[in-house]
Structure 1
């Protein structure tokens, strides 16, 4: 279900909406990368099992898939609950 988010809620944790969007986008990418790693590990385990099992039987077991929450939804929820901490990199001018 789609719902609107009041700007006041977003401005509690960031100075402006653009800053908040960048913070949530970076976190969503992190969540996506974490989920991708989990999927790859599951696939490797499944493939290893199939290699061993092919020699014994011809019937393959049904493959189940793990359903993950959408990375943007996770990032938004973490941001609005105040769980995300961020800081700016300091420019080192030489």
Structure 2
């Protein structure tokens, strides 16, 4: 996922409840789907951040080198400024970018 191109809000927004539950017919089911997608996004972000910070890892750093590593600080700040995973998931849900299915409905057919 390219986190640079995300246009999800970084602050709290109010959404129309009807639009959120429109796809499933149940607000709780919609929230669970968005929550699961937020967990996936959060895991992707965490994995990517760890990979980027591992590039800076060395086991023989002195205390001065740890505090002066500007690139590592910039990478960390970039990820801190990103929208939260829940905001990204809500944005994806509202744009119909999330695929979901209900196994209970699939077995009833």
Q: TM-score normalised by the shorter chain: which range applies?
A: 0.7 to 0.9
1:73 matches 2:87: yes
2:7 is matched with which residue?
none
Which structure carries more helix by proportion? Answer: 2
TM-score (norm 1): 0.76
Whose relative contact order is higher, 1 or 2, with alpha carbons under 8 Å and at least 6 apart? Answer: 2
Q: Secondary structure of the equivalent of 2:57?
A: helix
Within 2, Cα distance between the matches of 1:84 and 1:42? 27
Larger radius of gyration: 1
1:15 is matched with which residue?
25
Bigger mean CA deviation after superposition, 30-39 or 11-20: 11-20
TM-score (norm 2): 0.67
1:26 matches 2:36: yes
**Superposition RMSD on alpha carbons, in Å?**
2.5
Corresponding residue pairs, total: 87
